[in-house]
Amino acid sequence: MERRTQNIFPEYGRSSEEILADMQVAKSNDTAWKEGKTWTLQYFIDEEHNELLKAAQNLYFSENYINPFLFKSILKMEKEVVAMTADLLHGDENAVGSMTSGGTESILLAMYTCREWARKHRPSIKAPEIVAPRTIHPAFDKAAHYFGFSLCKAKVYDNMEANVDALERLITQNTILLAASAPSFAHGILDPIPAIGQLAEKHGLLFHVDACVGGFMLPWVERLGKKLPEWDFRVPFVTSMSCDLHKFGFAAKGASIVLYKNTQLFENQIFINTEYSGGIFATSSMLGTRPGGTIAAAWAGLQHLGQAGYLKNAREMLAGFDQLRAGIELTPELQIIGEPCMNMLAFFTKNNQPDIYAVADFMEEKGWVVDRQQLPPSIHLTVFPYNIPVIPNYLADLKAAVAWAKAHPEASGEGNAALYGLMARIPLRGMVRDNVRKVFLEAYANNITGETSGIAAQKPTTQKWMGWLNRLLARWKN
């Protein structure tokens, strides 16, 4: 086998100061999200809260929580975090669950648990199916791929809300679970959880509610006076939920919760191997080794903010959201999708005139980080505390972007507008999927440069992919 020609593993150790200096230089090239121009992924309140999370995490930095019985303090914190979350989501004294590394793991565990439950209680089902609206998070697709069941996706209404009749039409004798969102991440739309719960009761199915993004926001939205349909364990037929602490729980990443209505469901999540030569091996999550620090930081964050702190932050974010929404609605070419239930939305241009991706390109030129979406073509926004001061600037640039895109219709065939427009419009999903895979393979392959200054750069691959897509778009138009 050919030896690597570029040696980036230092022969001798380097000083802490030099290493940290290199990291600071590298980090300076990352997105400066604290400036407020990023509208996704960065859940942050203030430096005081962040310093507490770091201190709590560092206190348990070395603890390996693979065996919860060795670290009773971490087990106690995990149980208390689960209990606080269950209480927030109206679970009764029977509700039980565990912390996970993030929303994807929470969803994977819930789907695995559902499959194991069905093997015990519905052994005649050999090809299990799960039914969900097509707006459900891709983690459900991943679960289906990993665990060998089918995910059947139902059409949704134009407002991106789940269509209960369409869901029912997909239910067969192989269906074991229904799933819905509270709310959907892409559009901030709350699915009709009570009606889907009745559907689950009618057909004797389990029902999972994905509240990864809404679980630590919707309770405060309701307490601030907004009337919402019941969306959590208040709906009697909800059997499991996922809820991210590292989103609006403002915990350190990655931290999430998977909750079950009772222990009869939760026991199916526990994996046990009694034949391992190293002894009995048992885990309550997907992971073996689990970082105790993440659990400690989540517990500390909840203690620090308390209900009053969460309520205060929610009030401020909702006020900013109302300002943002009002500004978008004043632009006649723009339309918000559906009725958002919290501080996140998606909007598009009516009849895609002007092209929404051309609008997005203009906004990027102005320095904004833009979340382009498809099905339908749209832009996603979530309001965080650090966005609030720059909302007037965003709205001014958005108005200018719409005017520019109207004056330059040719822009829809250029730049990122063409890339994302292609993805949204052509049916060649397999070809796109193959090339996305190539992008990831190249990004993780051994294409490190010969630099030896601690953190090496990677060769750019996105431009090659964009070129391929643009050429395909040209052929498609012809």
Picking from 302, 284, 301, the residue whose alpha carbon sits closest to that of residue 105 is 284
Separation of first and last alpha carbons in the chain: 46
Euclidean distance between CA atoms 139 and 144, whole angstroms: 9
Other beta carbons within 10 Å of 262: 14
CATH code for the domain defined by 56-302? 3.40.640.10
Residue ranges per structural domain of the chain: 56-302, 306-414, 426-448+457-477
Q: Residue 372: enclosing H or E segment and its boundaries?
A: strand 371-373
pLDDT tens digits for range 194-223 = 999 999 999 999 999 999 999 999 999 999
Cβ 251 vs Cβ 291: under 8 Å = no
Of 171-175, 366-370, 379-383, 443-447, the range with the lowest mean pLDDT is: 443-447
**Closest by CA position to 374, among listed 433, 423, 419:** 423
Query: What contacts 24+ positions apart, CB below 8 Å, involve 362-370?
Result: 362/397, 362/400, 362/401, 362/404, 362/405, 362/411, 363/397, 363/398, 363/401, 364/416, 366/397, 366/401, 367/37, 368/37, 368/39, 368/394, 368/397, 369/31, 369/33, 369/37, 369/38, 369/39, 369/40
> 285: buried, middle or exposed (CB in 10 Å: 19+, 13-18, 0-12)?
buried
Nearest to 103 by CA among 111, 95, 115: 111
- Asked if the model's pLDDT at residue 460 lies above 60, the reply is no
Tokens of 75: 């087990």
* Cβ neighbours for 27, distance < 8 A, ≥ 6 positions apart: none
Runs of H (alpha helix) within 233-291: 263-266
Topology alike, domains 56-302 and 306-414: no
- Please provide residue 256's backbone torsions phi and psi, each rounded to the nearest 5 degrees: -145, 170
Q: For residue 306, is it left (φ>0), alpha (ψ between -120 and 50) or beta?
A: left
pLDDT digits (tens, 9 = 90+) for 411-429: 776 666 555 555 555 555 5
Q: How far apart are CA 77 and CA 79, in angstroms?
A: 5
Q: Output the pTM of the full model.
A: 0.86
Q: How many residues are recorded in the chain? A: 478
- Which one has a higher pLDDT value, 353 or 283? 353
Mean pLDDT (whole number) for 57-73: 85
Tell me whether strands 271-273 and 240-244 are parallel, antiparallel or unpaired: unpaired
Q: Rounded distance, CA 99 to CA 109, Å?
A: 11
CATH topology assigned to domain 306-414: Aspartate Aminotransferase, domain 1 (3.90.1150)
pLDDT, mean of residues 18-37: 82
Residue 381 has pLDDT above 60, yes or no: yes
Query: In the structure encoding, which two tokens stand for residue 377, read together?
Result: 């073509």
